[in-house]
Amino acid sequence: MKSLQRFERYAYPLVTSVIIIIIWDIASGHYPADLLPSPMSVVLTLKDLLGKGTLPENIGISLYRFFAGYLAAAATALPLGLLFGRYSRIWFAFDPIVQLLRPISPIAWLPLIVLWFGIGNLPTMVIVFIAAFFPILLSTVAAVHHVDRLYIDVARNFGLTERAILSKIVIPASFPYMITGMQIALGSGWVFLVVGEMLGVNSGLGYMIIDGRNSLRYEVVIAAILLIGGLGLILSKSLELIEKKVQIRWGVHNGTA
């Protein structure tokens, strides 16, 4: 039964992908190649870019910018979320500011980001940071608020320090909700990475889209789009794998410790 479920889990997406490629190939035969490139032309373009070294370089710089911004956001938002979640008065003081800044698109900050940080990698990293920061922060605050107070009270009765309560109870119990916020932040950060690269740099996957459009090479545009989607999927699945390993280690599942 499990082997059948595992087969279906991979077979259905594979069949769906093959059907989409077939439809795409048929449709490309009814349009000019410069309007709708065929799947084969996109594959050949990827092979050409790989051979020239352009593709690995652009993928590498995009991943570098993304991880720099995303990990900085996680390293900042997780401790702040734990602090705000544990101490309600501090959260009450900062909540209006967070709610004011949260709905602002990271791209709206771009003129100020360029003014403050110049051009190059750093502005794109800052955009990723902003896009990832708020989902992680708010999910962490909500996660800590949902920890059963009974566990904390019992721990205090046994003489556990605040640090021990945080590390042994609050963080493990909050982890499933925190990782959900990190998944959302990953998607948001990846999207805005591409947007940032389309606006202010001359390298990366987002830049490949703009460069392909400007040179009327739409097979490059489609290749970059597919790479962005594929890498985003790999990043998301990698985070899910980390989540499962941590849950097994801590004995955490579905928000319970």
Q: Which pLDDT tens digit goes with each residue over 101-126?
A: 999 999 999 889 988 988 888 999 99
Average pLDDT, whole number, for the chain?
87
Q: What is the pLDDT of residues 161-184, one digit of tens each?
A: 778 877 788 888 888 889 999 999
Give the residue, 254 or 21, on which the prediction is more confident: 21
**Per-residue confidence at 256, pLDDT binned at 50, 70, 90?**
very low
What is the rounded average pLDDT of the residues 226-237? Answer: 94
Helix (H, G, I), strand (E, B) or coil at 13: helix
Q: Is 255:149 a contact under the CB 8 Å cutoff?
A: no
**CA neighbor of 132 nearest in space, from 199, 61, 77:** 77
Average pLDDT value for residue range 45-49: 89
Q: Which are the contacts of 243, defined by CB distance < 8 A and separation ≥ 6?
A: 176, 179
Question: pTM above 0.75?
Answer: yes
Q: What is the DSSP string of 104-126?
A: S-GGGGHHHHHHHH-SSHHHHHH
Q: Are 197 and 58 in contact (CB under 8 A)?
A: no
CATH of 44-250, one of 1.10.3720.10, 3.60.21.70, 3.40.1180.10, 3.30.470.20: 1.10.3720.10
Cβ contact 69:193 at 8 Å: yes
